[in-house]
């Protein structure tokens, strides 16, 4: 996508408002200890394959897979008016896809898995980060860290949306369960809401 649309790039580093998504499978590491390595990789790749397709269909940029965690942003390299809305719809589609993934897992005698998804919006530095020998389009800034902390509070099947993201939404979504989270390194509590449609 980056190469297809070079007009959207500032590889030297620029400030972008993005909606950040972090997801991971609840308890995956513990689960993985009871399975053969090949089963773990097959289960993980089925999940990551389905999630990648959904994120790309919603024009998200996948920054990283880290084990079972996915880090993606909406709004870089290209900013669009509906970045936050696409991120929310993407998270909903990801949760909706879990039933099919778990049906395939069950059919192979593998355990069911549940994912938690955190969404947060803020300004980050986007740029081509790394070295001559290895670099990638990546992101730096407190909103990245905050998203990771919100993700720590997600239960399986849950989507937690930060206030910062809610304020950017044009669409209407049912939210509930306002929670105030203390985040290391951030003085003010981070306010998040549980998205109600998610996998309920």
Instruction: List contacts with a second copy (CB under 8 A).
Output: 12-15, 28-30, 32-33, 37-42, 44-45, 48-49, 51-53, 56, 62, 64-68, 71, 125, 127-136, 138-142, 144-145, 185
In the complex with a second copy, the residue whose CB is nearer, 61 or 199, is 61
Indicate the DSSP class of residue 39.
Answer: H
CB of 173 to a second copy, least distance (A): 28
In the complex with a second copy, the residue whose CB is nearer, 73 or 166, is 73
Asked if residues 161 and 193 have their Cβ atoms less than 8 Å apart, the reply is yes
CB of 191 to a second copy, least distance (A): 20
Residue 90's Cβ-count burial label (10 Å; 0-12, 13-18, 19+) is buried
User: Rounded distance, CA 196 to CA 200, Å?
Assistant: 7
User: Rounded distance, CA 180 to CA 177, Å?
Assistant: 10
In the complex with a second copy, the residue whose CB is nearer, 88 or 144, is 144
How many DSSP H helices and E strands does the chain contain? 5, 8
In the complex with a second copy, the residue whose CB is nearer, 53 or 81, is 53
CB of 170 to a second copy, least distance (A): 28
User: Rounded distance, CA 59 to CA 40, Å?
Assistant: 28
CB of 146 to a second copy, least distance (A): 10
């Amino acid at each position: 996508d980056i190469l297809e649309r070079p007009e959207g790039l500032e590889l030297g580093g620029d400030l972008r408002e993005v909606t950040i998504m972090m997801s991971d499978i609840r308890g995956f590491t513990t689960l993985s200890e009871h399975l053969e390595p090949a089963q773990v990789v097959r289960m993980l790749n089925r999940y990551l394959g389905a999630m990648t397709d959904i994120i790309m269909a919603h024009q998200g940029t996948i920054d990283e897979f880290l084990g079972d965690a996915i880090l993606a942003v909406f709004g870089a390299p290209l900013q669009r008016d509906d970045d936050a809305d696409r991120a929310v719809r993407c998270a909903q589609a990801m949760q909706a896809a879990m039933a099919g993934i778990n049906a395939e897992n069950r059919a192979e005698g593998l355990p069911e898995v549940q994912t938690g998804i955190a969404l947060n919006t803020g300004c980050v530095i986007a740029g081509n980060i790394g070295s001559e020998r290895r670099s990638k389009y990546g992101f730096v800034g407190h909103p990245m860290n905050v998203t990771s902390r919100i993700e720590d509070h997600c239960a399986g099947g849950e989507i937690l949306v930060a206030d910062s993201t809610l304020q950017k939404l044009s669409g209407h979504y049912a939210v509930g369960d306002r929670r105030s989270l203390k985040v290391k390194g951030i003085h003010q509590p981070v306010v998040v809401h549980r998205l109600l449609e998610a996998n309920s």
